[in-house]
Chains A and B, each alone.
Chain A
Amino acid sequence: MGVALARSAQWTAARYGTRALETTPLNEAILEEIMMFVESFIYKHPQEAKYVFVEPLEWKTNLDPSAFESGYIVSETTVKSEEVDKDGQPLLFLSVPHIKIRSFGQLSRFLLTAKDTKLKEAQACIEANEGPVTKILGLDYNTMKEDTSVVNILDKITKEEDPASEIKMKLGKLLEQLDLHLLNHSLRHISLEIRLNPTIVKNDIELLKHFSGKGEQTVLESIDYTSDYEFSNGCRAPPWRQIHGEICYVLVKPHDVETLCITCSAEGVFLNGGKTNDEGEINYERKSEIYKDLVTFLKEKSAKFSENMSKQDVRFSEEWKKEKEEPKEAPKKEEAAAPRKALPASSKSMLEKNQINFGKSQMTKRLEPSLNWKATIDFKEHKSLLRDIQEEKRGGRLERSGPPVSPGRAQLIHKSAEKIEEMISESSSESEEDEEPPDHRQEANADLPSEYWQIQKLVKYLKGGNQTATVIALCSMKDFNLAQETCQLAIRDVGGLEVLINLLDTDEVKCKIGSLKILKEISHNPQIRRNIVDLGGLPILVNILDSPHKSLKCLAAETIANVAKFRRARRAVRRHGGITKLVALLDCAQNSGEPAQSSLYDARDVEVARCGALALWSCSKSYANKEAIRRAGGILLLAGLLKTSHENMLIPVVGTLQECASEENYRAAIKAERIIENLVKNLNSENEQLQEHCAMAIYQCAEDKETRDLVRLHGGLKPLASLLNNTDNKERLAAVTGAIWKCSISKENVTKFREYKAIETLVGLLTDQPEEVLVNVVGALGECCQEYENRVLVRKCGGIQPLVNLLVGINQTLLVNVTKAVGACAVEPESMMIIDRLDGVRLLWSLLKNPHPDVKASAAWALCPCIQNAKDAGEMVRSFVGGLELVVNLLKSDNKEVLASVCAAITNIAKDQENLAVITDHGVVPLLSKLANTNNDKLRRHLAEAISRCCMWGRNRVTFGEYKAVAPLVRYLKSNDANVHRATAQALYQLSEDADNCITMHENGAVKLLLDMVGSPDQDLQEAAAGCISNIRRLALATEKARYT
């Protein structure tokens, strides 16, 4: 009991001398246990009950003497027990208000007498008696306890043979048992308690903050921390209070109650003494019960709060719940994210993500566009939630962390086989939205909005009504705000989806139309999409595409466009032949001479084609679907539709083309079908979205040289350049800069861009833009800077500083582009001076440590012109501690591009004798020699150059020979690349200074190859080849001479 009381029981801060037990549930539980023990003691252990305590337990009691009955001598103010010890002293002595008790027997009786107040008495007793065990058993018990091996105790008992001491021992054991029991009990109790931590508290408060403010609808008027300072552990309480587990203090002003000053501690949330006015100091004393969290507390304290909380629709609580569940789900999510596609896709998919993301805020730029599921929430709410979500996601992108819902039974059969197919067949442009969101159903006991019940009623009529009633119910259902998630989920949760889908299978055109009109709206919700697919809705939708009624076709196509936003759905559309049918819809508009609307169920042909294009746009995110569209002859039809001038037709058409342009086939077709011309034409449209998709399509296609030329010939460069000036629409800006980047790969285009002053604008875009824009801007500048005039231009516009600043980023694509641009600038000595001054070379050098090979290679390439053009390059290179070793070690990489770039860097580094000496010490020669057996011409060239440079030091020539680098080099001469020939001849020339190498060369037939090279028009090559031959010949002559003399 002693240990339990000392450790587990929660004492108030012992400030005023007297100790007091706090009224916490844990303490109450402990007291309860102790009381039970004491009360039953007299029956269970009558022997031990008689044992007289060494010292009495004393405390102040509230019990009236009159309460005592038989067995006691009662007077006005005193009570004595009849039971006495061997000295004749009573075992219970009460002299109001002090009481002394000296045996368990009396304690038991006392508690029985106290009845209702026994809890208070027990508490008073424990509070007043520090170390009750010592008092009961005496000090020696505690010393004896030091070595409480059972043997020891038994020993003592058997030795002393004293019955009193035996009883004492037994009592001691009993108390020990109680102690253990209490500890276990409190442990169980503690483990039941939800411990709050700073993060949970913080999230709660942040969330509440968003829903606070003036007005009737908010849950609180205000909620604020008392302190702005947050410690690194997330607490705001001063350190001496943190010891007590307190996290922070919050001032809450509910609508209907005075301002509450609340302590949030690890144990829970409670009201404290409030701010003491004079110093703003907080009275930390607890003034209320402890609640498990802030919301529970506030619900208890403020009726208005709890009312408004329940009014906040279900989403709120879901949000809340989710936040709390997250930590558990985090690892799962990471697993799911693991097999993500590698870099080449990332720039593209990132761009795509932006389309969804940008509009909201720049801050979200690195986050995934997973807000779809709540995209329908009205704006205000949305905005306030947004920040929370961002926070959540920073903590590991937990948004869609739930387990994927198991697909329908039928699909299970094929599942494993399909999975593999799907992995391959899906194109890289799959965006995040593909991941299936968690399924959150409304909880049965949650406060359901009134819409829920109305919708339930309508669904009942849908089920049990004839055609007329069904149509009325459908029309009425359509009047609900179907963009609202509550309604969407309500329809599903009352079983409406099944009915709606079943209606599609009937012959009733009117019911089908009504049902589709609803499905079209609610399928904006990602969960509903999945449910539709799970219920087998897609095959039915696909069948409706064959319907003779155009409006049905339209609605079905539009619904498919919404549903096919995730992989499984797209596959289902394809499997059921939907792609062909959708492509057929495109054909409608081609039929000239539109007949008048002959029936109520007919839409215009253009509309049909538009809906078809819309659905194809959604479907075209899968590789296999792109292929299917192509095979169904979709490209021609799309090209045809591109000639129209309806904006809402053009957007899905261009969108589809842009999506498909990731495929080589399409790019070829786009070139062939004169689509570029129309894309360029639409760049001039007024519609921003259309401009964006056009630019995006150009971006995709302009990898191809002819396409780039076509863009120029059709006058596309000017609109692109002028669109640069509008930087508000980030999605469009990203697409436009992307198109400019790709177009500027052609020199003629760069000249045009310079004419249109696009380069100056691009430099201006180097700051304050989202990453996706930056990647493209920097890429474009990298291309432009290949020309002298532009380099000067970029320098004059002050572009070098922001470029160098970008070298510290983390986005790989961006880094690749930035290093390239910086490298291009470094060709200019004047620019180089600026780069050097900004410490750009060091930044480039540290990028050699970047884990991604593309970045490494790009950085190494960029270093070459830097070293070439820096003043005092040798000294600069040496100044990077460990830099040379780093470079040499990169020769161990297995990426050809990295190797080639590093060889090029080494060639430049080795121009400085001292550095050459250092890298030789780091073992550059064996590493280079090891690379010699390669077929990659780029690597061969730079390797040969590096070898020829490295020959200039010490006995490196000989060492290359020893490491067998010479023979493979000779073979390089058979390559088709003139650059390789030149570099190799130079290397061989250097190596041929060593006699052994000459022999090796000769043996490998170098002479004949070199003789051919002597006839080359390339002077350097001639010279090197001739030099090498002369070295070999000289050796031969020398040996001959030696032989004959």
Chain B
Amino acid sequence: MNRKKLQKLTDTLTKNCKHFNKFEVNCLINLFYNLVGEVTEWQGITIGLDRNAFRNILHMTFGMTDDMIMDRVFRGFDKDNDGCVNVSEWIYGLSIFLRGTLEEKMKYCFEVFDLNGDGFISKEEMFHMLKNSLLKQPSEEDPDEGIKDLVEITLKKMDHDHDGKLSFTDYEQAVREETLLLEAFGPCLPDPKTHMEFEAQVFKDPNEFNDI
């Protein structure tokens, strides 16, 4: 890609993204092309990070392990649902992923947790997401009982309108009361440590770096 084109791309993306400055956008674009390789556009078809490549990044860089959550994060990034994350989706996604305000992150997390995208997190979805969260105790008769109980506890805590499922309003209210519940059903944001490491690594040119 030539320099001019890159410059132009950076400018447009910077304009659309409020959380990164130009330098940071530049760094992230470079990172993106490093990850996908130089061939991003082939005969008009945009190539980007496909599901596997993206999950690999999530796993290696941000230490995520839960397959399902990683899938959902990929869906979160892949706005146009074309099976791969292109450069603008990359920048936009990371801006929320790394620097999003609480509102943006709530919206993002809710989308991740709403597995079927119907606007509610149902009991079944919760169960699905929490099913590996407890150490299985061989002595217990029903290994799922703990999980079911955990789902009930969560509902009791978050389901303010008592309809047996979480709407975004429920979720938002609960998170505003207790921020810890933002990632209630699994880690879908970078934890602070890897977050800092990532930023430090990507934005390492100190000359133009002045605002963190």
What residues of chain A have their CB less than 8 Å away from a CB belonging to chain B? 457-458, 460-461, 464-469, 471-476, 478-479, 507-510, 513-514, 548-549, 598-601
Q: Could you say which of A469, A508, A509, A549 contacts B150, with CB atoms under 8 Å apart?
A: A469
Please report the number of residue pairs spanning A and B whose Cβ atoms sit closer than 8 angstroms.
Answer: 75
Chain B's closest residue to A595 (CB) is B212
Chain B's closest residue to A507 (CB) is B193
Instruction: Please give, as numbers and ranges, the residues of chain A lying within 8 Å of B21 by CB-CB distance.
Output: none
Contact B130 A469 (CB under 8 A): yes
Distance in Å from the Cβ of A512 to the closest Cβ of chain B?
10
Given contact pairs A472-B184, A507-B193, A600 touches B135 in the complex (Cβ within 8 A): no
Contact A465 B180 (CB under 8 A): no
Instruction: Please give, as numbers and ranges, the residues of chain B lying within 8 Å of A478 by CB-CB distance.
Output: 178
Contact B183 A464 (CB under 8 A): no
Cα–Cα distance between A599 and B190 once the two chains are bound (Å): 11
Contact A471 B181 (CB under 8 A): yes
Q: Could you say which of B146, B157, B187 contacts A479, with CB atoms under 8 Å apart?
A: B157
Contact A474 B183 (CB under 8 A): no
Distance in Å from the Cβ of B36 to the closest Cβ of chain A?
29
Asked if B12 CB lies within 8 Å of chain A CBs, one says no
Contact with A along B129-148 (1 / 0, CB 8 A): 11011110100000000100
Chain B's closest residue to A514 (CB) is B180
Instruction: Please give, as numbers and ranges, the residues of chain B lying within 8 Å of A600 by CB-CB distance.
Output: 102, 105, 179, 182
Distance in Å from the Cβ of B180 to the closest Cβ of chain A?
5
Asked if B68 CB lies within 8 Å of chain A CBs, one says no
Instruction: Please give, as numbers and ranges, the residues of chain B lying within 8 Å of A466 by CB-CB distance.
Output: 132-134
Contact A461 B146 (CB under 8 A): yes
Contact B157 A461 (CB under 8 A): no
Instruction: Please give, as numbers and ranges, the residues of chain B lying within 8 Å of A513 by CB-CB distance.
Output: 180
Instruction: Please give, as numbers and ranges, the residues of chain A lying within 8 Å of B135 by CB-CB distance.
Output: 464-465
- Most chain B beta-carbon contacts within 10 A, residue among A465, A479, A600: A600
Q: Is the interface of B mostly helix, strand, loop or mixed?
A: helix
Contact A476 B178 (CB under 8 A): no
User: Can you identify 27 A-B contacts, CB atoms within 8 angstroms?
Assistant: A461-B134, A464-B134, A464-B135, A464-B137, A465-B133, A466-B133, A466-B134, A467-B187, A468-B183, A469-B130, A469-B133, A469-B150, A471-B183, A471-B184, A472-B150, A472-B157, A474-B180, A475-B157, A476-B156, A507-B193, A509-B193, A548-B192, A549-B192, A598-B99, A599-B192, A600-B105, A600-B182
Interface size class of B (residues with CB under 8 A): 20 to 34
Cα–Cα distance between A466 and B105 once the two chains are bound (Å): 22
Cα–Cα distance between A601 and B193 once the two chains are bound (Å): 12
Contact A472 B154 (CB under 8 A): yes
Cα–Cα distance between A472 and B152 once the two chains are bound (Å): 11
What residues of chain B have their CB less than 8 Å away from a CB belonging to chain A? 99, 102, 105, 129-130, 132-135, 137, 146, 149-150, 153-154, 156-157, 178-187, 191-193, 196, 212
Contact A461 B150 (CB under 8 A): yes
Contact A468 B180 (CB under 8 A): no
Q: Is the interface of A mostly helix, strand, loop or mixed?
A: helix
Cα–Cα distance between A458 and B135 once the two chains are bound (Å): 14
Contact B153 A473 (CB under 8 A): yes
Instruction: Please give, as numbers and ranges, the residues of chain A lying within 8 Å of B133 by CB-CB distance.
Output: 465-466, 468-469
- Most chain A beta-carbon contacts within 10 A, residue among B149, B153, B184: B153
Contact B192 A601 (CB under 8 A): yes
- Most chain B beta-carbon contacts within 10 A, residue among A458, A460, A468, A479: A468
Given contact pairs A507-B193, A601-B192, A468 touches B157 in the complex (Cβ within 8 A): no
Instruction: Please give, as numbers and ranges, the residues of chain A lying within 8 Å of B156 by CB-CB distance.
Output: 476
Instruction: Please give, as numbers and ranges, the residues of chain B lying within 8 Å of A476 by CB-CB distance.
Output: 153-154, 156-157
Contact A468 B178 (CB under 8 A): no
Cα–Cα distance between A461 and B154 once the two chains are bound (Å): 13
Distance in Å from the Cβ of B34 to the closest Cβ of chain A?
26
Instruction: Please give, as numbers and ranges, the residues of chain A lying within 8 Å of B181 by CB-CB distance.
Output: 471-472, 475
Distance in Å from the Cβ of B132 to the closest Cβ of chain A?
7
Chain A's closest residue to B184 (CB) is A472
Instruction: Please give, as numbers and ranges, the residues of chain B lying within 8 Å of A475 by CB-CB distance.
Output: 157, 178, 180-181
Instruction: Please give, as numbers and ranges, the residues of chain A lying within 8 Å of B186 by CB-CB distance.
Output: 468
Distance in Å from the Cβ of B137 to the closest Cβ of chain A?
7
Cα–Cα distance between A513 and B99 once the two chains are bound (Å): 20
Contact B153 A468 (CB under 8 A): no
Given contact pairs A469-B134, A478-B178, A509 touches B184 in the complex (Cβ within 8 A): no
Cα–Cα distance between A476 and B99 once the two chains are bound (Å): 28
Chain A's closest residue to B132 (CB) is A466
Which 8 residue pairs are nearest across A and B when measured between Cβ atoms? A469-B133, A464-B135, A466-B133, A476-B153, A468-B133, A468-B186, A465-B134, A475-B178
Cα–Cα distance between A936 and B147 once the two chains are bound (Å): 82
Instruction: Please give, as numbers and ranges, the residues of chain B lying within 8 Å of A460 by CB-CB distance.
Output: 146
Cα–Cα distance between A471 and B132 once the two chains are bound (Å): 14
Instruction: Please give, as numbers and ranges, the residues of chain A lying within 8 Å of B132 by CB-CB distance.
Output: 466
Chain B's closest residue to A472 (CB) is B154
Chain A's closest residue to B185 (CB) is A468
Cα–Cα distance between A291 and B130 once the two chains are bound (Å): 56
Chain A's closest residue to B101 (CB) is A597
Chain A's closest residue to B195 (CB) is A599
Cα–Cα distance between A466 and B135 once the two chains are bound (Å): 8
Contact A509 B191 (CB under 8 A): yes
Distance in Å from the Cβ of B70 to the closest Cβ of chain A?
14
Contact B192 A468 (CB under 8 A): no
Instruction: Please give, as numbers and ranges, the residues of chain B lying within 8 Å of A507 by CB-CB distance.
Output: 193
- Most chain B beta-carbon contacts within 10 A, residue among A460, A471, A479: A471
